[in-house]
C-alpha cells in the first residue's frame, strides 16, 4: 500500500511551481489539491544603466529571482559576473539552465537558507566587493545587512513581485467539498497569511486544526501567531523531494 494512501494534501506553491511536487506526492498515493496562495508577476523594467557585470557577486534568493533576472537584465552581463550565490537546489538548477554549469563560480549551501549561505567561505572576505541581491519585493535583509557589516557594497534589485491571487473564498469551499485536506504544505510566511485571506472564516478555523508542513523553523512562530493548533512538520529541505520525503516519513508514523 502506498504510504500516502488516504492523505489529501493541499499544495499551496505558486501555480507554475506545483507540478513536480504534486507528482511526487501522487506517486506516493496522496490525493493532491492545487490551491496557489501566491502569484508571481514580473517586476517593472529596471533603469537602463543597470549593468550586472559591474558586480563581483550576484546572489539569487530563489528560482523566481533567477527567472526574473534573466527576463529583465542583459543576459551577457549576468553571465559575465565572477561569482553567483544561490539559496536552494532549485535556484541553482535554474541558474544552470540559463548559463550552463558555472563550476567553482557558484556559491551554495546546505541547509538552503540565508544563514547557511552567509557561512560559505566565498562570502567571508568581501570587503570592497560589489554585491547585487536579486529578489522579490520586501525580502529579508539578513544577507545584505551581514555582507555590509563585512565591508561589501550591497545593492538590491526587485526582479519579480509576489501578489495575492484574485480568487473568491467560494473557490476553496468547492475545491474541498469532496474531501478536506489532511495536511497543508506552506513554503513562506507570506503564503500562510495569504491562505487566510483566500478562505472564509469557517474554512480558516478548520485549516488551523490540521497538520501543516513548513520549510523552516522560522515559519513555526508565524504559524502559531496565526492560531494554528495542530502538529507542525518541518521539511528536511525546501526542495520538492525534501518535502515529499518529509511528508512520507510523517505519514508512516501516523
Question: Which domains, ranges and CATH numbers included, belong to the chain?
Answer: 8-38+167-253 (3.40.50.10090), 41-162 (3.40.50.10090)
Residue-wise pLDDT for 67-95, tens only, equals 999 998 888 889 989 999 999 888 999 99
With bands split at pLDDT 50, 70 and 90, how would you rate the model's confidence at 223? very high
pLDDT of residue 46: 67
135, pLDDT greater than 70: yes
Residue 107 DSSP class: E
Residue 122 DSSP class: G
The structure's pTM equals 0.86
**Per the structure block, which three cell numbers stand in for 127?**
570587503
- % of the chain at pLDDT higher than 90: 80
Buried/exposed 165-174: b ≥16 CB within 10 Å, e otherwise: eebeeeebee
140, pLDDT greater than 90: no
Highest-confidence range of 69-73, 119-123, 149-153, by mean pLDDT?
149-153
Q: Tell which phi-psi region holds residue 138, choosing left (phi > 0), alpha (psi between -120 and 50) or beta.
A: left
Query: What mean pLDDT is predicted for residues 208-232?
Result: 95
Beta strands 160-163; 39-42: pairing state: antiparallel
1, pLDDT greater than 80: no
Burial of 252 (0-12, 13-18, 19+ CB in 10 A): exposed
Amino acid at each position: 500500500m502506498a504510504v500516502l494512501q488516504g492523505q489529501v494534501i493541499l499544495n499551496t506553491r505558486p501555480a507554475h511551481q506545483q507540478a513536480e511536487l504534486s507528482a511526487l506526492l501522487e506517486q506516493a498515493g496522496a490525493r493532491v489539491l492545487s490551491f496557489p496562495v501566491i502569484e508571481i508577476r514580473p517586476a517593472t523594467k529596471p533603469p537602463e544603466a543597470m549593468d550586472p557585470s559591474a558586480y563581483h557577486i550576484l546572489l539569487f534568493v530563489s528560482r523566481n529571482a533567477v527567472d526574473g533576472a534573466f527576463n529583465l537584465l542583459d543576459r551577457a552581463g549576468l553571465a559575465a559576473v565572477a561569482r553567483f550565490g544561490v539559496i536552494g537546489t532549485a535556484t541553482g538548477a535554474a541558474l544552470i539552465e540559463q548559463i550552463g554549469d558555472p563550476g567553482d563560480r557558484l556559491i551554495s549551501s546546505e541547509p538552503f537558507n540565508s544563514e547557511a549561505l552567509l557561512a560559505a567561505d566565498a562570502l567571508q572576505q568581501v570587503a570592497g566587493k560589489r554585491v547585487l541581491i536579486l529578489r522579490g519585493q520586501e525580502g529579508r535583509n539578513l544577507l545584505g545587512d551581514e555582507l555590509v557589516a563585512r565591508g561589501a557594497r550591497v545593492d538590491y534589485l526587485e526582479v519579480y513581485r509576489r501578489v495575492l491571487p484574485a480568487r473568491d473564498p467560494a473557490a476553496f469551499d468547492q475545491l474541498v467539498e469532496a474531501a478536506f485536506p489532511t495536511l497543508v504544505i506552506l513554503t513562506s510566511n507570506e503564503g500562510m497569511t495569504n491562505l487566510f485571506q483566500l478562505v472564509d472564516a469557517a474554512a480558516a478555523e478548520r485549516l488551523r486544526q490540521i497538520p501543516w508542513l513548513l520549510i523552516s523553523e522560522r515559519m513555526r512562530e508565524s504559524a502559531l501567531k496565526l492560531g494554528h493548533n495542530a502538529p507542525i512538520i518541518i521539511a528536511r529541505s525546501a526542495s520538492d523531494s525534501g518535502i515529499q520525503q518529509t511528508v512520507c516519513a510523517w505519514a508512516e508514523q501516523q
